[in-house]
Amino acid sequence: MIRVDMPELPEVQTVVDGIQEVVGLKILGVHTHCLKLRQPIQTDLSDRLEGSVIQMVFRRAKYIVVKTNCDVLIHLGMTGKLLIKDHTYQRVKHDHMEIHLSNGKKLVYHDPRRFGMVSWHSNYQDYLAHYGVEPLSDAFSSDYLYQHCRDRRTTIKALIMDQRCVVGVGNIYACEALFLAGISPLKQAKVINKNECLKLVAMIKKVLNQAISEGGTTLKDYRTANNSLGYFQQSLNVYGLEGKGCQACGSSIQNVKITGRSTFYCEHCQS
């Protein structure tokens, strides 16, 4: 078992659950320190947010949605963190934005690799209009996935990572779910049968739900120790385990590239 700490859907959900205390607070001001994220932080972000009240914080795909008088979308990218700090907190390297709140605390956006994003929209749904169903919703069913697989020559792994089909399934959980479903990541989507769709959908929901429940516990510990929020760590079966023995059969875990992403699987258990 190895541990990783990239913010996939469960990590984003855990962060959202952990910052509910900001709901109802007034935004006194916003300071941005680096405009060059995945897309530039809008220069009028502060003007837009100052004086407004945070009405709701929730997750859509891997975005954190902060509803005020407009919608603020926050994406953590690879290395992003959203931290609650008190008024004595001093900014450190890679803190790109601070939102000053009416209870004296600050919501701090920290992202060394700057793959993340912060932006305001009048309606967040317009920005995410091309996004598919939530993986943990009833809309993501085996029938839904099966229909999306029709006539698709791409691999099943690329398909479940395509946000137009289903959102929030990143590289790690795609690998893990395919392992648990016994399906090769290299298999063409169009030859996946209904029973395989049933298993795969169930396993995607399982790994995500499991990670969310584990994350809640880890986050609580993390907060106690550091008085701050961050994403957590997840135990894995195949991801990052190239050359190691498969837990189920002992065969060596393979690593192949699929659409540029490292893809870990067991040739014996997945076909």
Q: Does 113 bind DNA (CB under 7 A)?
A: yes
**DSSP assignment of 196-239:** HHHHHHHHHHHHHHHHHHHHHHHHHHHHHHHSS-----EE-SST
Q: Does 230 bind DNA (CB under 7 A)?
A: no
Strands 27-32 and 81-85: unpaired
Q: Does 244 bind DNA (CB under 7 A)?
A: no
Q: Does 154 bind DNA (CB under 7 A)?
A: yes
Q: Does 92 bind DNA (CB under 7 A)?
A: no
- 179-198 residues in contact with DNA (CB under 7 A) are none
Q: Which of 231, 216, 223, 232 is nearest to 85 (CA)?
A: 223
Q: Does 110 bind DNA (CB under 7 A)?
A: no
Interface with DNA (CB under 7 A), residue from 31, 94, 187, 223: 94
Nearest-angstrom CA–CA distance, 23 and 29: 16
Q: b/e per residue, 169-189, with b = 16+ CB within 10 A?
A: bbbbbbbbbbbbbebbbbbeb
Nearest-angstrom CA–CA distance, 72 and 64: 8
**Residue labelled with tokens 């309606």:** 123
CB of 34 to DNA, least distance (A): 8
Interface with DNA (CB under 7 A), residue from 30, 45, 49, 63: 63
Q: Is 261 a catalytic residue?
A: yes
Residue number, 81 or 101, with CB nearest to DNA: 81
Q: Is 194 a catalytic residue?
A: no
Q: Given 48, 60, 62, 106, which residue is catalytic?
A: 62
- 117-146 residues in contact with DNA (CB under 7 A) are none
83 φ/ψ angles, rounded to the nearest 5 degrees: -120, 145
Residues near DNA (CB under 7 A) are 6, 8, 36, 38, 61-63, 75, 77-78, 93-94, 112-115, 151-155, 158, 161, 163, 167, 170-172, 239, 255, 259-262
Catalytic sites, residue numbers: 7-8, 62, 261
